[in-house]
Amino acid sequence: MKQQLGIQARLRRLDPRLVDGLLGLVLAIVSLPAVMPLIEESRRDADGWSIALILLMTLPIAFRRVAPDVVMVTTGAATVAYYTLGYPDTLAAIGTLIALYSVAAHGNRRLAVQALIGTAIGLSISVLVAESGEFTPQILVSNYIIYGTAWVIGDNMRTRRAYTQELEARAERLEGERETQSREAVIEERRRIAREMHDVVAHNVSVMVVQAGAARRIIESKPEQARDALSSIEMTGRQALTEMRRLTGVLRREGEAYKTPQPGLGYLEKLIEQTREAGLPVEVTIEGQPYELPQGADLSAFRIVQEALTNSLKHAGPSHASVCIKYSPNKLELRVTDNGRGAAERLSNGSAGGHGLVGMRERVAMFGGDLKSGPLPGGGYEVQATLPLETVGKWSRS
Instruction: Compare 183 and 22 and report the one with higher pLDDT.
Output: 22
Distance of alpha carbon 350 from alpha carbon 365, whole angstroms: 17
Number of other residues whose CB lies within 10 A of the CB of residue 312: 28
Q: Say whether 155 sits in a helix, a strand or coil.
A: helix
**β partners of residue 374:** 382
Distance of alpha carbon 153 from alpha carbon 147, whole angstroms: 10
Instruction: Compare 333 and 209 and report the one with higher pLDDT.
Output: 333
Predicted local distance difference test score (pLDDT) of residue 90: 81
Lowest-confidence segment of 229-233, 265-269, 358-362 by average pLDDT: 229-233
pLDDT one-digit tens code per residue, 305-347: 988 888 887 776 667 889 999 999 889 999 999 887 654 444 4
The whole model's pTM is what?
Answer: 0.43
Predicted local distance difference test score (pLDDT) of residue 351: 42
Residues whose CB is less than 8 angstroms from the CB of residue 293 and which lie 6 or more positions away in sequence, other chains included:
264, 265, 301, 332, 389, 392, 395
Mean pLDDT value across the chain: 76
Distance of alpha carbon 9 from alpha carbon 11, whole angstroms: 5
**Average pLDDT for 109-115:** 86
Q: At residue 302, what are phi and psi to the nearest 5 degrees?
A: -65, -45
pLDDT one-digit tens code per residue, 89-109: 788 888 888 988 888 888 888
Highest mean pLDDT (candidates 98-112, 208-222, 234-248): 98-112
Distance of alpha carbon 239 from alpha carbon 234, whole angstroms: 9
What domains sit in the chain, N to C, each tagged with a CATH number? Answer: 2-135 (no CATH), 265-395 (3.30.565.10)
**Average pLDDT for 382-387:** 92
Confidence of residue 230 (pLDDT cuts 50, 70, 90): confident
